[in-house]
Amino acid sequence: MTLQQLRYIVILDQERHFANAAERCSVSQPGLTIQLKKLEEEIGLMIFDRSKVPLKPTPLGKEIVELAKRVLHDVDSIKDFVVTQKSMLTGTLTMGVVSTLAPYLIPISLKAMRQALPKVKLIIREATTVELMNKLEIGEIDVALMATPTGNSRLKEYPVFDEPFVAYLPALHVQSQRPFYTLDPEDVNKLLILEDEYCYNSQLLNICELKTKSSSNFLFDINSIETLKNMVKSSHGFAIIPWLAQYGQSPSDQVLSKPFEGSQPVREISLVTSDTFSRKLLLEKLSKAIWESLPSELKNLKDYRKIRWNDSPYWAKSSKQI
């Protein structure tokens, strides 16, 4: 017994004519007849008396048609309930934000997000890429704002914007007077990276066309872009940082931000959910609020190339150790 068969007998009862009912059901008349016969054989009862003109349900068939109407009504109620739940803009939403983005995006977008979702309790948690992916899979967070693609088939990604990478240089760097930065082989061993943010490191090495981290005569576990920026200010090397990490900073004679020459390397920032997440309207509102909060420079980005991280040799090696 299928829902489709129940729909057929309800419509057949309304039309009392096989040809008309078949047309309404968008099936052939023989197809409708076969399905009715299968249902009658399964339950062991005749639902319609074919000898009558117009067609009429048998006494027991009439009761079966009424029961079918109730079942179909309940099914429609379930569908309506699901649609309503998907459209709800209430309740609690736990959002994880990758640590290389949270300190810079959340302050400028939180007001817009709260205005877009006034009845939603928004819980924001900062974490690394690996942590966010794990938390999504176990249901500890509902959505993550992070760099994509993840390469994880169990997650769904909804791109929001592209963020360029810029070179962050000490003021006395040899390229300080140039409008753009061109990677210098001598700079490779001076590149400062974040110790535990594997996807971020993968992107930087991709930009620099390297397969492994460069060697240095000192080791320092940097886990914050702000610490990394201060290392540059103290002339301990140079960095490649996301555009928002330098947005709005006051002019300084200690450091300079330089765009790369040619197509700008960018990272794709997306809202990421588990493959079972269904509150699509909430995601749309959240995405729009974030987009409208962005500086116009990011919205008008044209000449760029996206930097992946999930297929980086460095990521592949690092992820095995996690």
Q: pLDDT digit of tens for each residue in the chain (322 aa)?
A: 898 899 988 998 888 888 898 888 899 989 989 988 999 899 898 998 888 788 889 999 899 999 988 888 788 767 756 655 566 678 889 999 999 999 999 999 999 999 999 989 999 999 988 899 989 988 899 999 999 988 888 899 999 999 999 989 988 888 888 999 888 777 777 888 776 665 676 777 677 665 555 544 444 556 788 988 998 888 888 888 999 999 987 767 788 889 988 888 899 999 999 988 888 889 999 999 999 999 998 888 777 777 765 554 444 454 444 4
pLDDT at position 279, please?
84
pLDDT at position 192, please?
82
Tokens 């886990």 appear where? Answer: 223
Backbone dihedral angles phi then psi of residue 169, each to the nearest 5 degrees: -120, 150
Per-residue pLDDT tens for 32-60?
A: 899 889 998 998 989 988 887 888 899 99
* Distance separating alpha carbons of residues 278 and 81, to the nearest angstrom: 13
What long-range pairs does 170-173 form, CB within 8 A, spacing at least 24?
170/232, 170/233, 170/235, 170/238, 170/254, 170/255, 170/256, 171/252, 171/253, 171/254, 171/255, 171/256, 172/235, 173/238, 173/256
In contact, 144 and 134? CB cutoff 8 Å: no
Per-residue pLDDT tens for 211-226?
A: 555 544 444 556 788 9
Backbone dihedral angles phi then psi of residue 279, each to the nearest 5 degrees: -85, 70
Those residues with Cβ within 8 angstroms of residue 169's Cβ, 6 or more apart along the chain or in another chain? 175, 176, 181, 232, 238, 255, 256, 257, 258
pLDDT at position 162, please?
94
* Distance separating alpha carbons of residues 6 and 204, to the nearest angstrom: 59
Instruction: Provide the b/e sequence for 115-146 (b: ≥16 CB within 10 Å).
Output: ebbeebeeeeeebbbebbbebbeeeebbbbbb
pLDDT at position 146, please?
94
Those residues with Cβ within 8 angstroms of residue 51's Cβ, 6 or more apart along the chain or in another chain? none
pLDDT at position 216, please?
46
- Does domain 3-87 sit in CATH 1.10.10.10? yes
pLDDT at position 109, please?
96
3-state helix, strand, coil in the chain (%, to 5): 45, 20, 35
Q: Show me where the domains of the chain are located.
A: 3-87, 91-322
* Distance separating alpha carbons of residues 297 and 70, to the nearest angstrom: 57
Question: What count of residues does the chain have?
Answer: 322
What long-range pairs does 244-249 form, CB within 8 A, spacing at least 24?
244/101, 244/104, 244/105, 244/163, 244/298, 245/100, 245/103, 245/104, 246/166, 246/168, 247/104, 247/295
Task: Give the number of C-alpha atoms closer than 13 A to the C-alpha of residue 29, restricted to the C-beta side.
Answer: 4
Beta strands of the chain (E only): which ranges?
48-49, 56-57, 91-98, 120-127, 143-148, 155-170, 191-192, 238-242, 255-259, 264-274, 304-306
pLDDT at position 277, please?
86
pLDDT at position 223, please?
76
pLDDT at position 111, please?
96
CA–chain centroid gap for 310, Å, is 15
pLDDT at position 314, please?
42
Task: Give the number of C-alpha atoms closer than 13 A to the C-alpha of residue 244, restricted to the C-beta side.
Answer: 23
Choose the CATH number for 91-322 among 3.40.50.720, 3.40.228.10, 3.40.190.290, 3.60.110.10.
3.40.190.290
pLDDT at position 123, please?
95
Read off the tokens for 102: 């949270």
Tokens 């509102």 appear where? Answer: 285
